[in-house]
Structure 1
Amino acid sequence: MLFSFLKYLQPTNYFQLFTTTGKSIFPIAEELPNSLLAQLKIDTKFSSEVAKNYDLSWQAIQNGYVGDVSTYSDFEGVSIKDNYHFIRKYFNQTWVFYVLLLRLFSLKNPFIELSGWYKTRHVNRVLIKGVSIYDDDYRNFKSALITDSPKVSIVIPTLNRYTYLQDVLKDLEQQDYKNFEVIVVDQSDPFNGLFYNDFELDIRLIKQEEKALWLARNTAIRHAKGEIIALSEDDVRIQSNWLSEHLKCLDYFKVQVSAGVFYPEGQQLPKERSFFAVASQFATGNAMFYRSICETVGLFDRQFEKQRMGDGEFGLRLYLADIKSISNPKASCIDVKAGEGGLRDMGSWDAFRPSNFFAPRPIPSVLYFFRRYFGSKASKLALLRMIPLSILPYQFKKNKPMLLLGVLVSVLILPLVIYQVFKSWHLASKKIKLGPLIEQLT
């Protein structure tokens, strides 16, 4: 990674890894176009030219650069001081102190660590805003792909959510792009086949007895007639240009994957995801890709059935295979967050908050994913960063008195949490021993 301290703060981020061709995602700073460099800021307070260039490369990716200049295939080490400078610049000071403590407890030289931490105390945090690199050109772009009108197969698995599914199917009736089919894999109990007669859509209905999300998506992709797959869910709302904006993104950037953006109902598109960028995550509730990529990387791993992070694992396989995915704010959708049905009926709606006291924390599929791709050391760092936050209920985070109470409760239940983590690690080991359950699309 550009700066080694990122291993503490983003231990399981896609961009920690090199692709199978030995590339990173980070562009060589000296090759960045002048038009982009003019919008970035050279930080002269770094002590080495290497650190200055790495910082520019980081800025470029975080601000949405998607170009094709050469990328770094290895990284030189930079000083401890420059590492502290970097994390102070882009992360909350609480996390900077967290890194310092980890380094000290790891028996790193305390004089060098404290010196680097102290000497960078005046570095101010910089918030990434996005520099709108592509907006004007994209706005005027006329998509030949849309003109060619390829067939799109929209995949929607559903489980006991007819009320919510009705809304998204109504949204699909209003699409300004018309050459598509909708493949619904219905696992509901009771099953209502007559429900689908009310929509003016080309619906291909697959009744699936087994309640299995990743099986449902794999089955739908196998049955798809379209050369392009669009993934959606049964509890989202989409705008009338959802399909056309995904297609336009594929065409404009000449990529194989458009990763749409979610935002919760009642809120707005988050600023940090309001611009085009190389996608650092993949969500199966809002994405479009060429069906042929499944011939390259395979279908979804069924090790994630009834659990979490199957979409994240698929996205990492794309990244490792050098298949670029673009985070696309133009094809955003509203996450309704249905209170019933779906994974909630399977008891695993949250990756890090178990359904009961003696359930594993996190869900074992999370550790299976982390350990398989990033190794045990990075997985332990991820647990150290995420588990303490998962102990506190969501509603405590913005209420200081309740936050303090939550911290005290967390200390009291620490033995239980340790048990939950060990249980998850053990179950993940079984998954790793069994290996991935990834079928190929032929």
Structure 2
Amino acid sequence: MEITIKEPLVSVIIPTFNRKGPLCELVESLSRQTFQDFEVIIVNDQGESVDYVTELYPELKINITTPHQKLHHVGCRNEGLTHANGELIMLCDDDDFIVPDHLENMVKELADTDFVFTDVEMVEFKEKNNLRYATSRTLFSYEFDEELIRKFNTYVSSGSVYKKLIHELIGNFDEKLHNYWDWDFILRVMESGVKVKKRPVASAIYAFTSDSGQLSSQLNERRGSYLQKLSEKHQLGVLPQENFWTMMESPFVKRKRSESQVVWDGLPVKYRET
């Protein structure tokens, strides 16, 4: 008798590097999902072993892969794609997490579209007793507007879900753009003509530091080169390399803010411990 093995519907791709606590929070949030037809692909970018995750969450289908050389975060996402068995892809950073009904609702949205992303809460955390507690919460919610997204990236990749076939149309993530891979990705998705939808619910929690714009001059120069490459690739014109929070307060960007539903209860994600 021939046995057919059912592949999971969704492949969750997580690049990681030495973030044990936040990674466990993310996996814990996956274990709480009301929709469980998924696999978890963790790409360990030459960091300390993360095999403990499979021991802590044996009920989840988890595939951990460690490349032979350091790939950095964009390369790790491409590596994850090579291991993905699902028809759908969900992207997650290893220090973010999602609320329990996030995946269920995102999959429902894909009944009439090809790519869906969600609003997020940008959260600053303080760690205490191996748990992260929110010290500030900022809603990040903007109109899905082509004019806006060509000037300011309103797409947060964590929690976004889309049909894997899209990569057959546009290729993999562009590793040459490094910091701006996500902006390039959403622009290429939009340019490909596939259907894109934004869900006006902040069901993904995005770890963010308000002083992250204070970069060294060397790092600023490097980021500037990536931004120029992005602009040339998509003919975006001159893009300002400003502090992210300053850009959010610019008149043009502020006019594009949209209403959204805040759903996270604000409680720390208590995960299983070894």
**Could you state the TM-score of these two structures normalised by the residue count of structure 2?**
0.71
The structure whose RCO (Cα within 8 Å, separation 6+) is larger is: 2
Query: CA offset at residue 160 of structure 1?
Result: 1.2
1:220 to 80, 94, 97: 80
2:207 to 336, 351, 355: 336
Counterpart for residue 269 of structure 1: 139
How far apart, CA to CA, are the structure 1 residues paired with 2:86 and 2:172?
16
Alpha-carbon displacement from aligned partner over 1:8-41 (angstroms, at most 9, x marks no partner):
xxxxxxxxxxxxxxxxxxxxxxxxxxxxxxxxxx
1:182 to 7, 23, 40: 40
For 1:273-422, list aligned pairs within 5 A.
273=142, 277=144, 280=149, 281-304=154-177, 307-330=178-201, 332-337=203-208, 354-356=215-217, 360=221, 362-374=223-235, 378-379=237-238, 382=239, 386-387=240-241, 389-390=242-243
Structure 1 residues 319, 194: closer, same or farther in 2, change over 3 A? Answer: same
Structure 1 residues 223, 278: closer, same or farther in 2, change over 3 A? Answer: farther
Matched, 1:258 2:116: yes
Structure 1 residues 338, 364: closer, same or farther in 2, change over 3 A? Answer: same
Code of the aligned partner of 1:369: L
How far apart, CA to CA, are the structure 2 residues paired with 1:309 and 1:216?
15
Gaps of 5+ in 2: 1-6, 124-135, 250-274
Give % identity.
Answer: 23
Gaps of 5+ in 1: 1-148, 340-348, 399-442
Please identify the structure whose Cα radius of gyration is greater: 1
- RMSD of aligned residue pairs (Cα, Å): 3.0
Code of the aligned partner of 1:286: G
Q: Secondary structure at the match of 2:116?
A: strand
Structure 1 residues 255, 358: closer, same or farther in 2, change over 3 A? Answer: closer
Q: Secondary structure at the match of 1:235?
A: coil
Structure 1 residues 357, 152: closer, same or farther in 2, change over 3 A? Answer: closer
How far apart, CA to CA, are the structure 2 residues paired with 1:294 and 1:332?
25
Q: Secondary structure at the match of 2:121?
A: strand
Query: CA offset at residue 261 of structure 1?
Result: 1.8
Q: Secondary structure at the match of 1:309?
A: helix
How far apart, CA to CA, are the structure 2 residues paired with 1:371 and 1:236?
31
Query: CA offset at residue 361 of structure 1?
Result: 6.4
For 1:191-206, list aligned pairs within 5 A.
191-199=49-57, 200-206=59-65
For 1:131-146, list aligned pairs within 5 A.
none
Counterpart for residue 264 of structure 2: none
Q: Secondary structure at the match of 1:363?
A: helix
| Preserved CA contact (<8 Å) 1:354 1:363 | no
Question: Size of the alignment, in residue pairs?
Answer: 222
| Preserved CA contact (<8 Å) 2:155 2:186 | yes
How far apart, CA to CA, are the structure 2 residues paired with 1:357 and 1:226?
40
Query: CA offset at residue 327 of structure 1?
Result: 1.4
Code of the aligned partner of 1:160: N
**Could you state the TM-score of these two structures normalised by the residue count of structure 1?**
0.46
Q: Secondary structure at the match of 1:300?
A: coil
Counterpart for residue 128 of structure 2: none
Code of the aligned partner of 1:367: Q
How far apart, CA to CA, are the structure 1 residues paired with 2:54 and 2:105?
26
Structure 1 residues 248, 371: closer, same or farther in 2, change over 3 A? Answer: same
Higher strand share: 2
How far apart, CA to CA, are the structure 1 residues paired with 2:208 and 2:27?
16
Structure 1 residues 249, 195: closer, same or farther in 2, change over 3 A? Answer: closer
How far apart, CA to CA, are the structure 1 residues paired with 2:20 and 2:221?
31
Query: CA offset at residue 267 of structure 1?
Result: 2.1
1:237 to 85, 89, 97: 97
How far apart, CA to CA, are the structure 2 residues paired with 1:338 and 1:152?
30
Structure 1 residues 210, 331: closer, same or farther in 2, change over 3 A? Answer: same
Structure 1 residues 358, 213: closer, same or farther in 2, change over 3 A? Answer: closer
